[in-house]
Amino acid sequence: MREFSKYGGKFVPEPIISALDELEEEYENIKNTKDFKKELDQLLKEYAGRPTPLTYSKKLSDKFGCKIYLKREDLLHGGAHKLNNTIGQALLAKHMDKDKIIAETGAGQHGVATSMAGAKLGLETEIYMGHEDVQRQKMNVRRMELLGAKVNEVTSGEAKLKDAVNESLRTWVKQLEDTHYLIGSVVGPSPFPKIVRDFQSVIGKETKKQIQEKEGKLPDRIIACVGGGSNAIGIFKEFIEEKNIKLTGVEAAGSASISKGLEGVLHGSFSKILQTDEGQIKETESIAAGLDYPGVGPEHSLYDELNRINYTTANDKEALQAHKLLSKKEGIIPALESSHALAQLPKIQKEVTRDDIVIINLSGRGDKDVEEVQKHE
């Protein structure tokens, strides 16, 4: 059995195995030590800005007929939930005596968050980013460079996120001794999906406490967008055992690995992936670069199989509408990725009642998307 029943695993070339074994062992040894926990807590609080607020949205609540709260990961330093993971893994890398971190990035948010963590903790940082993403996220490229990271443009394959992961893996295997591969989502070979989930689960833990304080009870529904699936697992994990809470993961219609994919192996783990009937990886197309990925975290595939999380999709148009709605009604410009979660609200309008509490994980802010959105006007 693998980490998540039949899902997960270590489908990697032999040279990487020893590094994964080392990472797993070190992580288990380090994660519960007093020093590590103290340092991480302090960084999350003083540097990243945790806890992030849980904001009640009166206007959305009135419009959709239920009590809507937004978990404000957009307010985390860097503008997305990504820093929870990068600070955690960069600190882990430091404890493992690595001098260097490398990472892939799609929208650029993980690249920025990795560059921040690298700068803060004094680790040399290199980012791999697909040519197409470099073109559509120029601002983030500049931010990474300002933060002292080196950005490498990837032109192989589709020149998108999946190709950036391939290139990161290829680079990692050349420099395993002094380099940590700081993967950006709950994907990749074991133990990455577990490590990223653990660092992101701070979102759900905070949310649970905050909603108890505000409402005196747990929510009825939680909605999050799913690309690789780290913000979703981050908020869902704490509520998985609360069986009567409805958990919904919203994929981009053009890259919906769970809703439209088949079982297989991409980037080291067995999960649901978008592939042709020949087993070649399919091209994906989403307005949200961060969701534009043909795979999904293995833990999500498991929760789909167990019917614990309900997975659905939103298309570009629905996401754009939601993006504009939140901007105008609440004065919050959401990331196009997070807008996919918001796009679920009109669809559940008929199923909810006034007293139902619905939490949306607002995984990132949308400043990076202003240009992209303008193109569609």
Partner 1 sequence: MNELKKSFQDGAFIPYIVAGDPDYKKSLEIAKKIIDAGADALEIGIPFTDPAADGPTIQKAYARSLNNGFKVKQIYQYIKEIRKYSDIPIILLTYYNIVYNQGIENFYQKTEKIGVNGVIIADMPPEESKQVTKKIKDKKINQIFLVAPTTTEKRIKTISEKGSGFIYVVSRLGVTGKRKNFQETTKKLIKKVKSNTDLPVAVGFGITKPSHVKKARKAGADGVIVGSAIVDKIEKNKKNQQITQYIKKMKQKI
Q: Which residues are catalytic?
A: 82, 104, 363
C-beta closer to partner 1: residue 152 or 201:
152
Would you count residue 182 as binding partner 1 (CB under 8 A)?
no
Shortest Cβ distance from residue 271 to partner 1 (Å)?
11
CA of 142: how far to CAs of 139, 145, 151, 264, in Å? Answer: 5, 5, 9, 36
Would you count residue 178 as binding partner 1 (CB under 8 A)?
no
C-beta closer to partner 1: residue 249 or 264:
264
Q: Which of 77, 58, 76 is nearest to 68 (CA)?
A: 58
Contacts of residue 303, defined as CB under 8 A and 6 or more positions apart, other chains included, come to 236, 240, 247, 309
Site for partner 1 in 280-299 (CB under 8 A): 280-281
C-beta closer to partner 1: residue 12 or 40:
12
Determine the size of the site formed for partner 1 (CB under 8 A).
36
Integer Cα distance of 89 and 48 in angstroms:
14
Among 9, 130, 234, 334, binds partner 1 (CB under 8 A): 9
Annotate each residue in 151-170 with x if it binds partner 1 (CB under 8 A) or - if it does not, as one string: -----xx----xx-xx--xx
Would you count residue 187 as binding partner 1 (CB under 8 A)?
no
Integer Cα distance of 253 and 249 in angstroms:
12
8-state DSSP, 290 = G
C-beta closer to partner 1: residue 105 or 207:
105
Which of 29-37, 99-107, 204-212, 275-283 is the region at the interface with partner 1 (rule: CB under 8 A)? 275-283
Among 3, 7, 10, 233, binds partner 1 (CB under 8 A): 10
**Angle ∠(194,87,53) on CA atoms, nearest 5:** 90
Among 265, 310, 315, 346, binds partner 1 (CB under 8 A): 265
Would you count residue 98 as binding partner 1 (CB under 8 A)?
no
Would you count residue 96 as binding partner 1 (CB under 8 A)?
no
Contacts of residue 223, defined as CB under 8 A and 6 or more positions apart, other chains included, come to 248, 249, 250, 341, 344, 345, 358, 359, 360, 361
Classify residue 240 as exposed, middle or buried by CB count within 10 Å of its CB (0-12, 13-18, 19+). middle
**Chain CA centroid to CA 38, Å:** 24
Interface residues with partner 1 (CB under 8 A) are 9-15, 17-19, 156-157, 162-163, 165-166, 169-170, 173-176, 262-268, 273, 275, 277-281
